[in-house]
Structure 1
Amino acid sequence: MSDTTVKKVSSAQSPKGEMGQKYLAMGKSLSMRMWENEQPTDPKPEQAREYETVGYVIQGKAELHLEGQVVKLEAGDSWIVPKGATHTYKITEPFTAVEATSPPARVDDRDET
């Protein structure tokens, strides 16, 4: 039998992460989150994550610094950060984007199913 679980997540009720992200829908093998109206800042320290990330820019501009490369992102662009790749973002204009991660990026107090 296939999984027939249906979940709806209202972004107004979504938990927020410590970096300002909103955690949206989450399944067993992927999750979604949103960065909403992030303001320009200096890049945060580089890091590598144990999940792959794909993203889509809704509005604004940013730079993705990935393994020595700089990728300019603007509305309509999509990107990928491979699992384990060292990266950071520099927001250059107020920025809104959605990301999906696999395996799921998790928030501590949220059900993992």
Structure 2
Amino acid sequence: MATKVSSRTASEGAHGEVSLAAGERVALRMWRDEPPNRDKPTTTSPHETVGYVVSGRAELVLAGETVSLEPGDSYLVPAGTEHTYRILESFTAVEATAPPAK
């Protein structure tokens, strides 16, 4: 069965993420126009995350290493790895999580 979720009407999560299509083993979400100078709290997640930067700039701090993210970059956050994001410019990215982030 096909599932369609429009980003215009999708629900927003507690951390500002927009929940997109999700299945039993993978979910898609979008961080849309995250404002600059907004550091995300450091977290560790049970899911693996791959992402793609649509616009803006950020730094991904992953297990103490800082990685610059710009439009066209993709990234991986392994499950169980402590990480955070520093938003440098209004930031939009699409992420897939497996298993689906709750």
Match 1:19 to one of 15, 21, 34? 15
Which amino acid in 2 is paired with 1:22? Answer: V
The two structures have a TM-score, normalised by structure 1, of 0.87
CA deviation map 1:28-68 (0-9, x unaligned): 10000001111112422211001000000000000000001
Between 39-48 and 70-79, report the one with greater CA deviation. 39-48
For residue 12 of structure 1, report the CA deviation from its aligned partner. Answer: 1.4
Q: Does 1:92 align with 2:81?
A: no
**Distance in 1, Cα, partners of 2:19 & 2:51:** 14
Give the unaligned 5+ runs of structure 1: 107-113
Q: 1:66 aligns with which of 59, 62, 66?
A: 62
Residues paired across the two proteins, number: 102
> TM-score, normalized by length of structure 2?
0.96
Fraction of identical pairs, as percent? 51
**CA 1:56–1:28: 2 relative to 1, 3 Å:** same
> What is the deviation of 1:13?
1.6
RMSD: 0.8
Tell me, in whole angstroms, the C-alpha distance in 1 between the residues paired with 2:100 and 2:90: 26
The SS at the match of 2:24 is coil
- Partner SS for 2:15: coil
- Provide the residue aligned with 1:79 in structure 2: 75
Query: Structure 2 counterpart of 1:34, which letter?
Result: M
Cα deviation digits, residues 8-42 of structure 1 (max 9, x gap) = 00111211011111000001100000011111124
Unaligned runs of 5+ in 2: none
Displacement over 3 Å in runs of 4+: none
Whole-Å Cα distance in 1 between the matches of residues 91 and 10 of structure 2? 19
